[in-house]
Amino acid sequence: MKKQFHSTSDKLEYLFVQFVQALFSYAGKKTAQEIFPMYYYYPYVFFEKNIPEWVLSSPNSFGLEHLRGVWRPSPYYYKQLLAGYEEVEEIKELIKLVAQAFEEAGVLELTQEMVENYISTIDVLESFAIEIVEYYSTLKLSEVQIVERYRYHLKQWKINLWQITIPLFNVTSDILKEFSLASHLRIAPFNAEEKSIVWNRSKNSLWHLVSPPLVHFSVFDQAQIKLTDEMELKDIDSMLPSIKKEVQLILTALRLFKEGYIEASAAYVEERPLPFKRYVYHALMFNGMTFQLGIHRLRLFSHFKPGQYSLSKDDLHRVKKLHEALCLLSSQKQEKIQQRPYGDLTVALERFNQSYERESHEDRIIDLTIALESSLLAGLKDELKYRLAIRGAALLVKIWEPQNSQLLLKTIYDVRSAIVHNGMQLGGTNLKKLLRRSLPESMEPEKFTQYCENIVRDVLRTYVFRLSGSQSLQEVNDDLDKYIIDRFA
């Protein structure tokens, strides 16, 4: 009985599955009879134990030592394994049937370049099959698995895709699967195999002798999670600004969510051409690029030893909610979005982010205090210290003990003034005395910078959620003043 189909797409899926299964059956029989080269050279290889396997060889002609890695499965392997299938009688008839159906449906219209290079519809479908077996690393695939990848390739056909990988450094995480965090970028685990591919395709392996990579491989190796996406774009220049903007929003959300240093300093971008590649090896090794997104402080042998950022899978929904609130701030005044990406909180949030880039505690405190002043003291000219403390305590009344928040905010104001106006250092005798005298009893003077960061984080996060609604910064502050008057009336 002839098989009936509800639509042309159903028929094409069925024929593609038959074609792939025939190819894989043929390849499976060959593996028991022949031996094929299964290796190619990757200069750097990463492992799940966070130890890159590398060996220093003898000095080269430039007097430098170069690194070499280990062998890995060749991208030619499955291509060689399928060689000769078109001569098998039972597959010949299937090829004719499949080719006719796809050509009549017109779903895989070939480019002029393909036609000129004698690439047929079957060649393209064969490339789909090779990608599928490479994707799953097995010839034993279910119909569901084959159809899933077929639909993916059909959807992306003739689209110029760019694969973007942005490792998040200094983060520990238990995230095991992708999570959509922003409009484009998703957060996902970053395993050893992916690290090896990204690192080597980004030209680090070729250029490290003449130009050091943006991120040292030992730092790169510690990344456990990444931001990732596939974007349809025509050129890099149009892509980078949008990537930087989205990454900055995500970093801001993560920094506002909890303490700990987190960095996304480099984007590894790989062009993904059509699945059919005539020069597979060169496409794998040379089509990647690396771009600096922001400051990179996690350098090898650096004295900078920040606290780690811990991101749990249970945190993701709350981080996304915070990210959405930040996006609402930037969309309130579209005509000024470049100058005021966070609306009324632009100065405050930019200074908060800049504090993560500062080398000295004094510079961090200055940035954090400016963040407080540009939010809590917006529009005010007198009684600044008092108004900073009283408004801050009112804003944080649900999460901070008011007496502690007032004392800490007053101390922050005094310390910043001593640094700016008198040139004092945080480790100096006078400021140590000031901290011991002014901080709440429960707070240790040695941790003052962290206390400062924590309360600024809470202030700004609270403002973000309130301003993401219909209120302006002035309206929120007016409500705080009214609350203070009503409370002490």
Answer yes or no: is pLDDT of 209 > 70: no
What lies within 8 Å, CB to CB, of 144 at 6+ separation is none
Per-residue pLDDT of 94-120, as tens digits, reads: 999 999 999 888 888 777 767 777 778
Per-residue pLDDT of 435-460, as tens digits, reads: 999 999 889 999 999 999 999 999 99
DSSP 182: S
Answer yes or no: is pLDDT of 128 > 70: yes
Joined together, the tokens standing for residue 460 give 């700004």
Dmax over CA atoms of the chain, in Å, equals 95
Residue 201, φ and ψ in degrees, nearest 5: -80, -15
CA 281 to chain centre: 26
Question: For the chain, what's the residue count?
Answer: 489
Quote the pTM value: 0.77
**Which residue, chain included where needed, has tokens 């990463």?**
46
Percent of the chain with pLDDT over 70: 79
pLDDT higher at 261 or 211 = 261
Joined together, the tokens standing for residue 303 give 């004295």
| 301 conformational bin, left if phi > 0, alpha if psi -120 to 50, beta if neither | left
Section 114-133 average pLDDT: 82
Residue 71, pLDDT score: 40
Band (pLDDT 50/70/90 cuts) for residue 462 is very high
Lowest mean pLDDT among 219-228, 331-340, 403-412, 473-482: 331-340
Section 220-249 average pLDDT: 84
